[in-house]
């Protein structure tokens, strides 16, 4: 890959910054391989900055990563230092001069084996202080610090002619994770102050999921890395593509694509109008605008009306959740059995572009890596699409039984990781067979993916319901303790 022209001095057209395209990065629309090394400007004498940067460049690196220590820049409240060895802007300018891009890590916490991870010790004057949370005493100090720091960074971003191509949000928060709202708060603090380059999180292999931030690229520090780490990474990362990609061509499962389940497509529109599928939705797609349900595109419905934008937003998020309802088992049409969005989707006769694509394969590995340890109690009547968790406790010697989802609408159900199958309240089948060997004495985990309206309990009977008026005996009616994880459609 020839990247000699992808340097700060050569790049004049700065309209398109660093982006993720599929499993690769692009810069200015060109394929770009990031080869980055870390230099902490505050640890290197200023007189040696250029020498260190040139050595990094000579080793074949094209990017320098550097962290910003809050405790050094604001050692006393409201006393800021950005001169001498702490002249961050001078360091960033120098990186650009020698031909290096910059990934900047402004914190507020940076780790880096610094005292208190780079946080100023005066924060602990507050006896109730809760560092790295949305505690008001901490966020007030962060906002005051970022009011001074971020304006120094903003003019040095890629689109403004500077070398900064990406900004890391906090640092390894997955290992701390005391406040679920904190990472979103820090992201907002950065964005509202003018940070517009690609955002990323960084965690070690064990804490990747807990440190991940929605709609922000997740990266891994090369510690505690196992095979499962890469599976977790792929589970939280959207696939980015200019055009829709069908299931079979997704860059998942070591390049083998997706076989079953659902696939979520997300794009941005600036107006409403007529959405048409032209037969490219395989097999059934729920359409949402700003998380509000619009309707279904399938073999019998190929167009929907998207409301015109209402309010002050310049753009709206359009999401299509497509279900693979199964492939033909025989016949000459089996060559056409690709699933998902198999071609362009049109809004007012113009094809939609720039998609984020999420694979929801609905197998055991997906459940283990995507849903583990991130459940929360259902406090209100939640509408799908969402995952629900129930716990069934039984005695010794489990027997065969049937699950009945009365009050539920449409979805998929799992028991102890086994996929029992799909359910739909239109019938005729009302129960799903559950073999006794798939149950175990004690606690059994039931996970339901509900597309629309969930029920309030999961019932069990000793007879199947395959028609309108079957006889049945309910063996163990239950109000399973339901917890949910919802993803924004």
What are the pLDDT digits (tens) for 16-26? 999 988 778 99
What's the CA dihedral at 478, 431, 411, 347 to 10 degrees? Answer: -140
pTM of this prediction? 0.61
Q: Are residues 38 and 142 in the same domain?
A: yes
In a domain, 8, yes or no: no
Verify that 345 and 384 share a domain, yes or no.
Answer: no
Q: Tell whether 6 is covered by a domain.
A: no
Q: Do residues 347 and 368 share a domain?
A: no
Question: Domain ends where: 237, 260, 281?
Answer: 237
**355 vs 401: CA distance, rounded Å:** 43
- Confirm if 128 and 94 have CB atoms less than 8 A apart: no
Residue scoring higher pLDDT (380 or 297): 297
User: Does residue 435 have a pLDDT over 70?
Assistant: yes
Question: According to the model, what pLDDT value does residue 223 have?
Answer: 58
Residue 376: per-residue pLDDT: 73
Instruction: For residue 301, tell me if it sits in a domain.
Output: yes
Q: Please, which pLDDT band fits residue 455 given cuts at 50, 70 and 90?
A: confident
Q: Which residue has the higher pLDDT, 242 or 3?
A: 242
CATH number at 394 reads 2.60.120.260
Same domain, 217 and 254: no
Same domain assignment for residues 388 and 246: no
Examine the domain organization and report whether 162 and 30 are in the same domain: yes
97 and 83 in a common domain: yes
Higher pLDDT, 373 or 475: 373
Q: Would 258 be classed as within a structural domain?
A: yes
Q: Indicate whether 158 and 276 sit together in one domain.
A: no
Q: Identify the H or E element spanning 368.
A: helix 364-371
Q: Exposure string (b/e) for 455-487, b if CB count within 10 Å is 16 or more?
A: beebbbbeeebeeeeeeeeeeeebebebebebb
Query: What pLDDT, on a 0 to 100 scale, did the predictor assign at position 257?
Result: 83
Verify that 351 and 371 share a domain, yes or no: no
User: Cβ(341)–Cβ(283) under 8 Å?
Assistant: no
Give the confidence band of 481 by pLDDT, cuts at 50, 70, 90.
very low
| Higher pLDDT, residue 141 or 209 | 141
Q: Is 266 exposed, middle or buried (0-12, 13-18, 19+ CB in 10 A)?
A: buried
Q: What does the mean pLDDT of the chain come to? A: 87
Q: What is the C-alpha to C-alpha distance for residues 205 and 366, in angstroms, rounded to an integer?
A: 17
At residue 4, the pLDDT reads 73
On whether both 212 and 86 belong to a single domain, the answer is yes
In the chain, the number of structural domains is 3
Contacts of 357 (CB under 8 A, 6+ apart): 238, 239, 240, 241, 244, 245, 250, 263, 264, 265, 266
Q: Is the pLDDT of residue 83 over 70?
A: yes
132 and 78 belong to one structural domain: yes
CB 337 within 8 A of CB 247: no
Residue 161 has pLDDT above 50, yes or no: yes
Query: Is 108 within 8 Å of 96 (Cβ atoms)?
Result: no
- CA 166/CA 182 separation, integer angstroms: 20
pLDDT given at position 51: 96
Q: Tell whether 329 and 409 lie within a shared domain.
A: no
Q: For residues 187 and 167, what is the distance between their CA atoms, to the nearest angstrom?
A: 10
Does some domain include residue 132?
Answer: yes
Return the pLDDT at 251: 84
Give the rounded percent of residues in the chain with a pLDDT score beyond 70: 88
Residue 87, domain extent: 18-237
């Amino acid at each position: 890959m020839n990247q000699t022209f992808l340097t700060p001095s050569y790049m004049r057209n700065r309209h398109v910054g660093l982006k993720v395209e599929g499993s690769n990065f692009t810069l200015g629309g060109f394929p770009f391989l990031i080869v980055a090394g870390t230099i902490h400007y505050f640890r290197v004498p200023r007189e040696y900055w250029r020498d260190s940067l040139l050595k990094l460049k000579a080793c074949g690196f094209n990017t320098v990563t550097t962290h910003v220590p809050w405790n050094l820049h604001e050692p006393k409240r409201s006393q800021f230092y950005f001169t001498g060895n702490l002249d961050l802007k001078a360091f960033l300018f120098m990186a650009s001069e020698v031909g290096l891009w910059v990934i900047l890590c402004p914190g507020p916490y940076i780790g880096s084996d610094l005292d208190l991870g780079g946080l100023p010790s005066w924060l602990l004057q507050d006896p109730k202080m809760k560092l790295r949370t949305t505690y008001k005493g901490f966020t007030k100090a962060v906002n005051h610090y970022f009011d001074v720091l971020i304006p120094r960074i903003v003019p040095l971003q890629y689109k403004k002619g500077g070398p900064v191509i990406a900004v890391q949000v906090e640092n390894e928060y997955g290992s701390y994770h005391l406040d679920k709202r904190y990472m979103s708060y820090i992201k907002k603090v950065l964005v509202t102050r003018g940070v517009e380059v690609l955002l990323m999180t960084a965690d070690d292999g064990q804490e990747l999921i807990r440190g991940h931030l929605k709609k922000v690229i997740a990266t891994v520090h090369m510690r505690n890395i196992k095979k499962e780490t890469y599976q977790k990474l792929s589970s939280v990362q959207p696939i980015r593509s200019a055009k829709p990609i069908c299931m079979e061509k997704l860059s998942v499962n070591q390049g083998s694509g997706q076989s079953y389940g659902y696939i979520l497509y997300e794009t941005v529109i600036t107006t409403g109008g007529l959405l048409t599928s032209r037969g490219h939705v395989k097999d059934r797609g729920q359409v949402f605008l700003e998380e509000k349900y619009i309707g279904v595109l399938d073999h019998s419905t190929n167009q929907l009306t998207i409301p015109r934008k209402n309010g002050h937003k310049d753009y709206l998020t359009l999401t299509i959740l497509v279900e693979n309802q199964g492939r033909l088992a025989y016949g000459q049409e089996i060559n056409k059995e690709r699933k998902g969005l198999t071609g362009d989707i049109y809004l007012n006769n113009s094809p939609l572009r720039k998609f984020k694509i999420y694979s929801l394969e609905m197998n055991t590995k997906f459940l283990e890596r995507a849903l583990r340890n991130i459940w929360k109690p259902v406090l209100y009547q939640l509408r799908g699409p969402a995952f629900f968790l129930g716990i069934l406790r039984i005695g010794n010697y489990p027997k065969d039984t049937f699950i009945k989802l009365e009050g539920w609408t449409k979805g998929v159900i799992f028991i102890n990781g086994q996929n029992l199958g799909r359910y739909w309240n239109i019938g005729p089948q009302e129960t799903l067979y559950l073999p006794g060997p798939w149950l175990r004495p004690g606690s059994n985990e039931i996970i339901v993916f509900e597309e629309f309206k969930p029920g309030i309990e999961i019932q069990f009977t000793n007879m199947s319901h395959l028609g309108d008026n079957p006889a049945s005996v309910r063996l163990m009616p239950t109000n399973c303790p339901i917890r949910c994880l919802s993803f924004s459609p």
